[in-house]
Amino acid sequence: MAENPDPKNWTGVQEAACGQTVYFNAWSGSQNINDYIAWAGRELKTRYGVTVEHVKLDDTANAVATVIAKKLPVRMKMVVLT
């Protein structure tokens, strides 16, 4: 995965994205939204080779807590290394 993709080099961004997995944290309480995320995931896989994993959350507070929990170790690691 490219650390700092250059949006001016869109072909390079697409090449770097191919084979990657995106973990999409989203509330799962609406079937039509779940269906849309599944459709978008299939489109991304077909068009760009990107896998979308819908991380189904039961409420917004859990979504925020999950994202913060995943970012916190990265920030802490950066602080330790710098």
pLDDT in tens, 2-39: 567 788 999 999 998 999 999 998 888 889 999 999 99
Q: Is the pLDDT of residue 81 over 70?
A: no
* Residue from 73, 60, 21, 78 nearest 44 by CA: 21
**Domain boundaries in the chain?**
10-81
Q: What is the pTM of this model?
A: 0.67
What pLDDT, on a 0 to 100 scale, did the predictor assign at position 75? Answer: 55
Burial of 28 (0-12, 13-18, 19+ CB in 10 A): middle
